[in-house]
Structures are given as C-alpha cells and as structure tokens.
Amino acid sequence: MSLFNQILGAIDNPNQMASAGQLAGIFNTVQQLSSTYQSNPEAVQTATAIVGKHVRSALQQKRDAQGEQQAQEIVHQYSSTGPSNQAVNVLFSSPQVQQIVKEIESRTPIPAGTIQSMLPALVPLVLNLLETGTDPQNPQGANSVLSSFLDADGDGDIDMSDAMQLAGRYLKG
C-alpha cells in the first residue's frame, strides 16, 4: 500500500490522528514555503521528497539501534507545520545536512543557502505527515503510516512527492 493510501486510511480511521485539516495544513505549508523562498512548488515538493528519503533512513537507523518506540517518539515529539532546528539536529549530523543540501541543490533550482534555511521547516513537515497514523488515545502505540514508511522496499523511491501531489488533488476534490 502506498504512503498516500496509508494516510487516507488513517483519515478514515477514527482511531488515528489523521484528518483532512492536518493534510491541508501540510499541503498549505509546502505552498507557503514556495512563496516565502520564491521557489516553484514542484521544486519544494522535490526537496520534500529528498528530505523524506533521508528522514526515512535516519528513523530506520533509530529504530534498528533503539527500537520502534524511539522512532515513534521522534515523530511524535518533532512533527509540526512550523520550523524546528531541533528536529533537524535530532535526526541528522552536520555532514548529513550538507549531503541533503547538495542532493536537493543538484536536483532542483533552489540555491544551497535557501535549502539550508528550508530544512528546519521541511523535516518537521515530513514528520507531521508520518504522525497521521498515530492513535490519539495511545500515542505510544503502533503507527501504521510510520510502519509503512519505514518498511518500504528500500529502493530509494520515496513517494513523499507523490503523496503531496495526491494530497493537493484530494483537498481540491
């Protein structure tokens, strides 16, 4: 099941945090980032997908080293539609941040300085999307969206960008 289908399933499940409003907040934040940093929305979606790939890797490492609960706790604590340098620092070392910036810069027209400024907004946004699978009555319990995200096939193809595009269509439809 795709990440977006997991999120839609969470929206339809009253035992999970996801809501159309939360999805709209995430989508609107991406649009605002495009405007704030004078970048086209497709470039910001690509940047979000690249950040998503790196977030997945970092959360997989946390899960493998410290357990599923630690990955869930990071998602729960740092998910937001607002910027958080702390979220970036919890997941990535300085060399990893530079690697992410270089990868985004090579695949989008967004300059490195702008990407560096956007990361504190993009990381919590990705985590917010993952938070949609959390049970509000039991936040420490299983999160189907996070599990699906972490247990992806490992082909490096994160459908975060597709999920953002589908979210936009879903919200307009």
Q: How confident is the model at residue 156 (pLDDT cuts 50, 70, 90)?
A: very low
High-pLDDT (> 70) share of the chain, %: 86
Q: pLDDT value at position 34?
A: 92
Query: pTM value?
Result: 0.84
Number of domains in the chain: 1
Q: pLDDT value at position 87?
A: 97
At 91, which amino acid appears? L
CB-CB contact of 103 with 119 (8 Å): no
CB-CB contact of 27 with 164 (8 Å): yes
Q: pLDDT value at position 18?
A: 82
Q: pLDDT value at position 115?
A: 97
CB-CB contact of 92 with 50 (8 Å): no
Q: What would the pLDDT profile of 98-124 be if each residue is shown by its tens digit?
A: 999 999 999 999 999 999 999 999 999
Q: What would the pLDDT profile of 63-85 be if each residue is shown by its tens digit?
A: 999 988 899 999 999 999 899 99
Q: How confident is the model at residue 169 (pLDDT cuts 50, 70, 90)?
A: low
Q: pLDDT value at position 136?
A: 85
pLDDT mean across residues, the chain: 86
> Residue 93's CB: how many other CB atoms inside 10 A?
10
> Domain range for residue 21?
3-172
Q: Which two tokens stand for residue 135?
A: 């049970």
Residue 23 has pLDDT above 70, yes or no: yes
| Choice between 76 and 1, residue whose per-residue pLDDT is larger | 76
- Distance separating alpha carbons of residues 103 and 52, to the nearest angstrom: 12
Q: pLDDT value at position 135?
A: 86
